[in-house]
Amino acid sequence: MLRPAREANYQMIRIPTMGVHGDEIMQQESSPLCAIDITPDLRKQFAYLSGGRGQNGSPIIVFPEFPAFGEIQEREFHNVLTYLTSIPSLSAAGVGFILVIDRRQDRWAAVKGTLLRIAGSFPGNLQLVLVLRPTTLFQRTLSDILFKFNKDEFKMKVPMIMLSSVTELHSYIDRTQLTTELGGTQEYSHEKWISHRTAIEGFALMVKRTAQILQSFGTELAETELPNDIQATSNLLGTHINKKSKMKEDLLVALGQGSRLLESINEPVVRDPDHNMNRDELENLATVQRLLSQLNETERAFDEFWERHKTKLEQCLLLRHFEHNYREVRCLLDQVAERLTAFSEVGISPAHADHIFHELSSHEERVCVLDRAQALAREGDELIQNSHYAEDSIQPKCIELRAVNEELRTYLRAKKDHLLRAIELHHSLERAAKWCDDGIYLLASQPVDKCQSHDGAESALQEIERYLDTAGQNKLTDPSAICRDYETVLNQEFRKVFQKQVSMQEMFEKRRVSLKKLAAKHTRPVQPVAPRPEAIKSPLSSPGQSLYTTCPEVLPLQSNRSASMSEEDENLAILRQHVMNELLETERAYVEELLCVLQGYASEMDNPAMASLMPIPLQNKKDVLFGNMPEIYHFHKTTFLRELEEYEDRPELVGRCFLERMTDLQIYEKYCQNKPRSESLWRQCSDCSFFQECQKKLEHKLGLDSYLLKPVQRITKYQLLLKELLKYSKGCEGSEALQEALTSILGILKAVNDSMHLIAITGYDGNMGDLGRLLMQGSFSVWTEHKKGHAKVKDLARFKPMQRHLFLHEKALLFCKRREENGEGYEKAPSYSFKQSLNMSAVGITENAKGDNKKFEVWCNSREEVYIVQAPTSEVKTTWVKEIRKVLTTQLEAYREASQQRPSDGLFQFPPGAGAPVSLRSVI
């Protein structure tokens, strides 16, 4: 919602009224006339306002000698007299005007006409009419006589006096109030008078218009609604400042014009300090001064209003910046809080826990948003202290920022304390686990023959006793206390290690019992099952091996075979549990890594704030870069991980979980098939700012390419873990399921590997989908033979075989040439140029060729085209021959259903064009 400015208690500008008279006659909405409107009429000067005054202050209007007075049109006469009577102040005009009519050079008839005209249409009050009658004897005598007889015709209610000379005039009006034409001392310039009147009225009009414009602008400002965003508020402030500057310019122009007009009116006094202004000049001076004063007052009122309005807009802009920064900081605080949840894990080893602790410490140092939140809260406090109008909106945000800031800092401190406790427990677990592993190594490394004698058994027993005495302090003690102290940290892991320790303790006790019996009496030597010396290997000697995972197979020494097998089963159960632990731990880590990639990279590709950092080749290519990783993450997060956890205590049965989800795990084929496209896109854009910024936000030391490789590594990891479980589950209930699951995983890996090669084929014009499922692929040496006509011509000129990569599909066999591999990683993926294709419906096979157990023949068209194929090993050859025979047999069985078999010369022959194999022959 836009907020109206009037909500801020804006006050409208009060523009003072103004006028050109002492009583501010300009208040009246309409003046009758202005000088500029009747300048041609005024210039005729048949009447003028000299500026003189009578004894009681009556304004004097002079009608000078004007022979063409009778020719003045009524409109001109009315306009001039109306204008002249409107000039004096209301108080002066209320006293009444004195008319001085100079007709000394005229005739009585003209005098009579003038008097009648004035009497009929004079627009003001009259106090006295003084007429300078004609000076010629005849006209003077005539005027005396006729004036008495015609006096009533003039209809004037004021005295009308006929004067014979200016001397008589001076008895009625002081000479200082008369112009020189009437024998007075007053200087008068009609053109100058018109110029002043025009300028004064123009200035008054300018002042009035300026005031109205300011009033209108003030109304506009007061009714302006405050925008809700920074840019609009900034634009509005700039627009209003520009308008205000224009208003100020107009004010300065008006003030400059008034000052120049004032100087012009004062010019006679400046020129002659003894100069006395007449009453009209003094009124003009006062009017201009009053207009200037009113203009200054208007400017001051506008400036005061503008300051309030500008302060309001500036406060609004500060508020919008504060709100914008608040939203940004609040979002960053949420991100920090979310990022801190990633530190919920406590590591899988002491080194891992230390790494997490250092990452958390580094993250704390880099989290400048906490300081920014604190600074923003202080900024809000300053706005409130400066009487910001939106205090009620700012104060809750400041309180919230401080509360969230303190909460995050407290959470950080608690998280660090939590990690420190975890590190302490990790080290305890590490020492205990090492005690167990070293104990297993000790038991497994004791020579069997040494224990058959009394001394040997005694020596082995002492060795165990010494180990228990010297390394015993590394064991976990008081498990209830540890569980209580670390109730929220690694409790589950502690229980696993403690169980391992208990199991090891039992193994030691059993070995001690056995050795004590051997030491006590000399018994017949037994032949226990023990690991070969070369198979005994300390867990610490294998770099990169998990501390809690694989241990050497240990078959404890016993005096009878059944007891030995019982211990062996226990040891195998421990080893199976360790493998299961590693499977679950790495599965959880894998899910977290996928989530990190999808949130930290994939989601950021849709973030408008990051759009400017994305290069053009990367735009709209999220599906290419990440493939179906979201699908993989969803499957593992919501399904596979939970189902694996159900087998945590029965690791030998986990193969069932893999078998039930084997169809779902085929999503990895799609991911791996897309991997070359993803790698190509990564190579184009790996150095762009987008990836660098995402990696910086995630605080990853490794680039995105390392995480894009995780799914490929994960499916391979399943193979290794299943192999380990199968090794320790021989004879167990779930061993068959484990073997089947391992075979299926290997099948997926093979399908992935085959498809990776298949998509690298170039030059094939047909549709690969029409060839059926890819069964096998591999590299071979190939020779060719051809029959032409009746003569058999062998292409044995090629003593050096062709190197070809064969792709066996259900419906065709493709021959391709492998190209050179360049680059690193997926850049080294080979490419294949298509050379030839054989339809499997026209193919025959000879299992042995040329007496070489690595060669076989593939032929067609009744052996007119023969391809001698040499495999790398006889095993590879056997596998391929078996698979090709399976394809041909399948086609044969399909044909048998459609037609009857007709054997011919040891070959299975099919009618031409029947769509079945030409032949299937086995040569032993």
Q: Where does 569-756 sit in CATH, by number? A: 1.20.900.10
Q: Which is higher by pLDDT, 526 or 605?
A: 605
**DSSP letter (8 states) at residue 619:** T
Structure tokens at 74: 């009524």
Chain centre distance of CA 517: 76
Q: What is the mean pLDDT of the chain?
A: 75
pLDDT value of residue 477: 59
pLDDT value of residue 365: 57
Q: Which tens digits make up the pLDDT trace of 447-467?
A: 544 665 677 778 878 888 887
Q: Which tens digits make up the pLDDT trace of 756-792?
A: 787 788 888 888 878 888 888 899 999 988 765 444 4
Query: Between the ranges 126-140, 631-645, 819-833, where is the mean pLDDT highest?
Result: 631-645
**For residues 841-861, average pLDDT:** 86
Contact 571, 555 (CB under 8 A): yes
Instruction: pLDDT band for 894, please (50, 70, 90 cuts).
Output: confident
Q: Any bridge partners for residue 813, and if so which?
A: 808, 838
Domain range summary for the chain, segments of one domain joined by +:
35-188, 344-424, 426-519, 569-756, 762-788+799-820+828-896
pTM over 0.75: no
Whether pLDDT at 923 is above 60: no
Spatial CA neighbour of 206 closest among 169, 173, 153, 255: 255
pLDDT value of residue 486: 58
Whether pLDDT at 880 is above 90: yes
Q: Which tens digits make up the pLDDT trace of 518-564?
A: 666 444 444 443 333 333 333 333 333 333 333 333 334 334 444 44
Percent of the chain with pLDDT over 70: 75
For residue 852, give the amino acid letter.
Answer: D
Instruction: pLDDT band for 143, please (50, 70, 90 cuts).
Output: low
Give the residue carrying structure tokens 């038991």: 443
Contact 180, 187 (CB under 8 A): yes
Q: How many Å apart are CA 772 and CA 51, to the nearest integer?
A: 119
pLDDT value of residue 481: 53
Instruction: pLDDT band for 243, please (50, 70, 90 cuts).
Output: confident
Q: Buried (b) or exposed (e) across 586-614, using 16+ Cβ within 10 A?
A: bbbebbebbeebbebbbebbeeeebeebb
| Start-to-end Cα distance in the chain | 91
Structure tokens at 752: 């992935």
pLDDT value of residue 537: 35
Q: Where does 35-188 sit in CATH, by number? A: 3.40.525.10
Instruction: pLDDT band for 885, please (50, 70, 90 cuts).
Output: very high
Q: Which is higher by pLDDT, 487 or 207?
A: 207
Instruction: pLDDT band for 868, please (50, 70, 90 cuts).
Output: very high
DSSP H or E run through 583: helix 561-597
The four Cα atoms 589, 591, 595, 598 give a dihedral, to 10 degrees, of: 120
Whether pLDDT at 413 is above 50: yes
Provide long-range contacts, Cβ within 8 A and 24+ apart, for 114-120.
114/63, 114/69, 115/154, 115/156, 115/160, 116/153, 116/154, 117/77, 118/63, 118/81, 119/154, 119/155, 119/156, 120/155
pLDDT value of residue 531: 38
Contact 684, 617 (CB under 8 A): yes
**For residues 404-411, average pLDDT:** 81
Q: Which tens digits make up the pLDDT trace of 709-767?
A: 899 888 888 888 888 888 888 778 778 888 888 888 888 888 777 777 877 888 888 88
pLDDT value of residue 228: 81
Instruction: pLDDT band for 829, please (50, 70, 90 cuts).
Output: low
Q: How many Å apart are CA 146 and CA 472, to the nearest integer?
A: 156
pLDDT value of residue 289: 81
The four Cα atoms 577, 578, 581, 585 give a dihedral, to 10 degrees, of: -170
pLDDT value of residue 910: 40
Percent of the chain with pLDDT over 90: 11
pLDDT value of residue 788: 57
Instruction: pLDDT band for 904, please (50, 70, 90 cuts).
Output: very low
Structure tokens at 437: 């592993």
Q: How many Å apart are CA 269 and CA 273, to the nearest integer?
A: 5
Please give the CATH topology (third level) of the domain spanning 762-788+799-820+828-896.
PH-domain like (2.30.29)
Whether pLDDT at 294 is above 50: yes
Q: Which is higher by pLDDT, 222 or 360?
A: 222
